[in-house]
Amino acid sequence: MQDIDNIAVVGGGVMGSGIGQVFLQNGYTVSVRDIDADILEAAEERIRSGNYGLDRAVEGGYLTEAERADALDRLTLTTDLGEAVEDADLLVEAVTEDLSLKGQVFQAVDAVTEDIPLYSNTSGFSVASIANAVSDPSRVAVAHFFNPAPVMPLVEVVQSEQTDQAVVDLMEELCEAVGKEPVVIDDAPGEYGFVANRCYAAMREEARKVVDEGVATEEQVDTAMEEGYNLPVGPFSLAGLGEEWD
Ligand code: NAD
């Protein structure tokens, strides 16, 4: 794998801080850029002592106290995009799921970076629609981490026809290096996103129908799916139907 030391994360919300933490825990230097100091403070707090943060990792024996301190030393928080990307070897965008905002962010990133790979953590916009915003779309792919990023192994790496193979390979290798399970897929998001969310949506829709038709209760559907398909939790326990999920 190409040498990667510094990673810029644009957007320090739930996903950006989780993704940043994954890389910090694995020895990388991470700069998180968000729009104001309070949000960045919350991002640091989440990384440090959130439900899936570094303190929990220490408590669980996954990280030593020295490793936690070292990880936090490698974290920079900034509102200055130029500073965030200064030494970055690659960038992960995790701003709010709004295509025009992502377009503006990628335009701004394009203006301050040369040729580093750019990844979006979008839940369902096509790579092509995001890559439009930069002058060289071949450096853009999606890296869809799942929530909570420090815990969930899956990363959907999505490539468009324009994406440079090296950009895809790099994210695949990087995911493996940090203990994630990458699945490389083509750029054809459906209404519910890429692969896992599309399939999960289909299961939820059918589960809802089964209950609405009076065939079974929610508890019975969950038991059927847990015991019949070895799912750790059935569709109703995992998330209330009707709620949005990413
Ligand atoms: P969030 O609301 O927690 O965080 C978004 C962050 O983007 C906020 O902190 C906001 O201040 C910041 N932001 C807005 N404009 C910005 C700009 N111009 N520059 C820098 N930062 C900016 O949202 P989230 O849940 O972390 O989602 C982020 C992305 O990850 C979305 O594309 C979402 O679809 C995707 N995603 C979310 C989940 C999930 O379960 N939450 C899972 C996978 C992927």
Domain residue spans of the chain? 6-186, 196-245
Please list the pLDDT of the chain residue by residue as tens digits (246 residues).
Answer: 789 999 999 999 999 999 999 999 999 999 999 999 999 999 999 999 999 999 999 999 999 999 999 999 999 999 999 999 999 999 999 999 999 999 999 999 999 999 999 999 999 999 999 999 999 999 999 999 999 999 999 999 999 999 999 999 999 999 999 999 999 999 988 888 999 999 999 999 999 999 999 999 999 999 999 999 999 999 998 765 444 445
Q: Which of 41, 46, 96, 245 has the most ligand 1 atoms within 8 A of CB, as the residue to mutate?
A: 96
b/e map 22-53, b = 16+ CB within 10 Å: bbbbeebbbbbbbeeeebbebbbebbbebebb
Q: Is domain 6-186 in CATH 3.40.50.720, yes or no?
A: yes
Distance CA 43, CA 172 (A): 26
Distance CA 40, CA 28 (A): 19
Å from CA of 94 to ligand 1 middle: 5
Pocket of ligand 1 (CB under 6 A): 10-16, 33-35, 39, 94-97, 101, 105, 121-123, 144-147, 246
| 144 is an active site residue | yes
Q: Which of the following CATH numbers is that of domain 196-245: 1.10.1040.10, 3.30.360.10, 3.30.1330.10, 3.90.1150.10?
A: 1.10.1040.10
What pLDDT, on a 0 to 100 scale, did the predictor assign at position 205?
95
What pLDDT, on a 0 to 100 scale, did the predictor assign at position 2?
82
pLDDT, tens digit, 9 for 90 and up, residues 109-123: 999 999 999 999 999
Catalytic residue among 6, 17, 120, 123: 123
Å from CA of 231 to ligand 1 middle: 28
11's torsion region: left (phi>0), alpha (psi -120 to 50) or beta? left
Residues 6 or more apart whose CB falls under 8 angstroms from that of 128 comprise: 137, 160, 161, 162, 187
Distance CA 216, CA 213 (A): 8
| 197 is an active site residue | yes
Å from CA of 227 to ligand 1 middle: 35
| 121 is an active site residue | no
Å from CA of 230 to ligand 1 middle: 32
121 contacts 92 by C-beta, under 8 angstroms: yes
pTM for the whole thing? 0.95
